[in-house]
Amino acid sequence: MAVIGLGTQHVAAATDSAWDKPVVTLGSSLTSSQRQGVIDTLTDAAGTGDSYNTLTVDGATLVKYLNPSGDNFTTSSGVWSSALVQKNQ
């Protein structure tokens, strides 16, 4: 499993210390208000409280990781999707 984020240029492996906390990935096209709403919704649902890391996904991330599958993203592609990923205990 990997989580990608251009903001930190980090790919987290399942054994990586980045998994010490859940990771909230946030689309770069979200407004500040939307970002906070997504964080609140995902962390509340997962019960993580304030213990999480964030990574931002943007068009360059889509180009790097999804275009090899035949998609046609560009570095200026918008990203709104977000997720919370946790390591299984």
Amino acid at 82: S
User: Between 70 and 58, whose confidence is greater?
Assistant: 58
pLDDT in tens, 18-69: 668 899 999 999 999 999 999 999 999 989 989 999 999 999 998 998 888 8
Domain ranges of the chain: 4-13+21-85
Contacts of 1 (CB under 8 A, 6+ apart): 13, 14, 85
Question: Which tokens go with 88?
Answer: 């299984």
Q: Closest Cα to residue 23, out of 2, 37, 34?
A: 2
Tell whether the model's pLDDT for residue 15 goes beyond 60.
no
Q: Residue range 5-20: average pLDDT?
A: 52
Q: What is the pTM of this model?
A: 0.71
25 has which bridge partners? 55, 83
* CA atoms of 46 and 86, how far apart (whole Å): 9
